[in-house]
Amino acid sequence: MKADTHIGSRPLPAGIQTFSTLRNEGCYYVDKTPLIRELIHRGRHYFLSRPRRFGKSLLVSTLKELFEGNEPLFRGLDIHPHWDWSVRHPVVRLSFGGKVSTPEHVESTVLNQLYDIEVEHDLKSLPPVTSAPERLRSILTRLHQATGRQVVVLIDEYDRPVLNVLEDSEKARANRDGLCDLYSILKDAEEHIRLVFVTGITIFSKTSFSSGLNNLTDISLSPRYATICGYTDHDLDTVFAPELSGLDREKIRTWYNGYHWLGDQKLYNPSDVLQLFAEREFDSYWFDTGETGYLYRLLKGKNITTFGLEKKRVDSKKISRFDAGQIDINALLFQSGYLTITERTQDDDGQIFFTLDYPNFEVQQSLNKGLLEYFVQSDLNVAEQGKGLVGFLGKNDFPALKEQIRSFLAGIPHQWHDSGNPGHHESWYASLLYMCFRTTQVDLKVEESSSHGRSDMVLLHENQVFVLEFKMVKDGTETEEGLDSAITQIREKRYAEKYLDRGEPIHLIGMVFGKKERDLLAIRAEQL
C-alpha cells in the first residue's frame, strides 16, 4: 500500500532547485561543495551538460549563494572553513526555463531578467531599446565599477530555446544565432568577469556557438567532476539512510542507478530517488516527466528501434557534440539521459570510443514500452505482452508462446509494416520482440558473439537458457525449411556453447516469419 508521506527524519528536497530554500528548511543535502571548491580553484570558465532534472539548477543556485557570501547557508558544509566570507561578488544569473520559442522571445526573456538585476543592484536603467547583448555588456561593466568586484555569470538551461524548437531546424538555428550574439559578450567582457558557469542538456558543437562559448572548459565528461550532480550509492547509504527502511536496496540500484560520466562511480538521478522515498513505490518517475514525442517521431522516421541501440559502440567525438539541424541520434539519446556510457576504449590510432547502453531498468523498460506503443498506435498493453512472453518461455509452453506472439503482431497496423518495408526483414520482428522483452527484467542478450558467429537473441530465465534465431521466408510453403535452417545455424555456429558450464537446460528456438503473411508462421524448440 502506498504511503502518504515519507518516513525519514528530514524533509525531502523533491522539486527544490533553490539552495537557500533547501538549507533553510533543513532538507537532506548531499554536500557538493568539495567539488565546487576545486572547480573554482582550478579555473574560471566552465560548461556542464547533464540530463534534465539532474540537479543542474540547484548547483547554479549554490554557486550564486556562495559568491554572494551567504555564509549561514554553508555552515557545516565542507567549503565553509575554506571560503573568505568577507569577499562578495555580484552575480548575474540567466535562465531559459519555459517555452522560449522565437528570437524575439529569447530577447525579451533576457531583457526582463537583466532589468530585474538592475533593480536588485540599484543600477541606472538603460533605454528600453538597448539589445539584450549590449545591455548585458553594460551591466557587467557597471556592476564591476559599482562594487569593485568582478561579476559571476551563471547561465542555466542555455540550450532550452533551441531544444524547444528542435523539430523546426530554421527556428532552431535562428534561436541559436540569437543566443550566440548574447554569449559572445562573455568573451568580450573578460576583464569584468570572475567566473562563468553554463549548464544545459546538450553539448552543442563549439562551432555552433563559436563566438560565444568556445572558451569554456567542458567538464561534462571530466572524471574529476563526474559526481558534481546526482547521487552515488554512498550518498544513499549515508545521507539518505533513514529513508531506506522498508525498501529493497538492490531493487533501488537496479531500477535507478547507472548513469556514468567516466568517473569511478555510477549515479542516480535525484528526482527518481526523492520520488521513491516520498511515494514508497517503484515507478518511472524521471522518464514519465519527459517530453518523448519528438524522440519517438525521430526514431520512427528513421526506422530505428531500440534493438540497434543497446551496447552501441560510437565515436566519442560524435556523442560529445550536438548541432541544430544535424541531429545525431546517439548524441541525442546520450545527452538526454536515455543512454549512458558503459565502457571507454581506445584503438591503436588513439581514437576513443564509448559503448552506450541503458543506464537502468527504469529507462530500459520505459523507453522500449513507450516507443513500441508509439509504433503500434493502439491500445496494446506492451508490458503485459512482455510478461506473457517471458512467462510462456519459463514454462516451456512454446505453442502458447507462438499464439502470444501472433496476437501481439496482429495489433500492429498494416501501414507500419509497410513503412520502408520493415516487415519484409526478420530483424524487424526481432526488434519488436526485443522491445517487448525489454519491458521486463529478464536477462536478455542480443547478438551475442560465439567463436563462429552471433546469435540473434539469448534469454536467461527461470534457471534456463533460451537461444533464439529468426528466419524470414517468402511464404508458408518454406516454413519447415526455415525452421531447419534456424536450428541448424544455432548448432553449427555453437551459439549455446558459452552457456554449457551453467549446468542449466538450454533450449534452441527457431522462429520463422512469412514475408507474404507478415506474421509468425512457426516455432520449433529443441533442448540441447
Number of H helices, E strands in the chain: 20, 17
Is position 241 within any domain? no
Does residue 314 share a domain with residue 207?
no
Does residue 480 share a domain with residue 338?
no
Does residue 334 share a domain with residue 388?
no
Q: Which domain holds residue 165?
A: 31-225
Is position 345 within any domain? yes
Query: Can you give the CATH number for the domain in which 444 is found?
Result: 3.40.1350
Domain final position from 225, 245, 263: 225
Is position 236 within any domain? no
Q: Where are the beta strands (DSSP E) in 74-130?
A: 91-95
**In degrees to the nearest 10, what's the CA dihedral of 435, 441, 392, 488?**
70
Is position 232 within any domain? no
pTM over 0.85: yes
Does residue 421 share a domain with residue 345?
no
Q: Write the CB contacts of 32 (distance below 8 Å, at least 6 apart in sequence).
A: 59, 62, 228, 229
Q: State the distance between the two ends of the chain, measured CA to CA, in whole angstroms.
A: 44
Q: Write the CB contacts of 63 (distance below 8 Å, at least 6 apart in sequence).
A: 36, 152, 154, 195, 197
Does residue 522 share a domain with residue 392?
yes
Total number of domains in the chain: 3
Q: How do the pLDDT tens digits run along the chain, 528 residues long?
A: 344 455 668 999 999 999 999 999 999 999 999 999 999 999 999 999 999 999 999 999 999 999 999 999 999 999 999 999 999 999 999 999 778 888 899 999 999 999 999 999 999 877 776 899 999 999 999 999 999 999 999 999 998 998 888 888 888 888 888 888 889 899 889 999 999 999 999 887 665 654 566 788 999 999 999 999 999 999 999 999 999 999 999 999 999 999 999 999 999 999 999 999 999 999 999 999 998 888 888 888 777 778 878 888 999 988 887 776 677 889 999 999 999 999 999 998 899 999 999 999 999 999 999 988 887 766 667 888 899 999 999 999 999 999 999 988 887 765 555 554 554 578 888 888 999 999 999 999 887 666 667 888 999 999 999 999 999 999 889 999 999 999 999 999 999 999 999 999 999 999 999 988 889 999 999 998
**Cβ(514)–Cβ(476) under 8 Å?**
yes
A 10 A CB-CB count for 288 gives: 12
Does residue 170 share a domain with residue 39?
yes
Query: Helix or strand or coil: residue 457?
Result: strand
Nearest residue to 387 via CA among 429, 436, 455, 444: 436
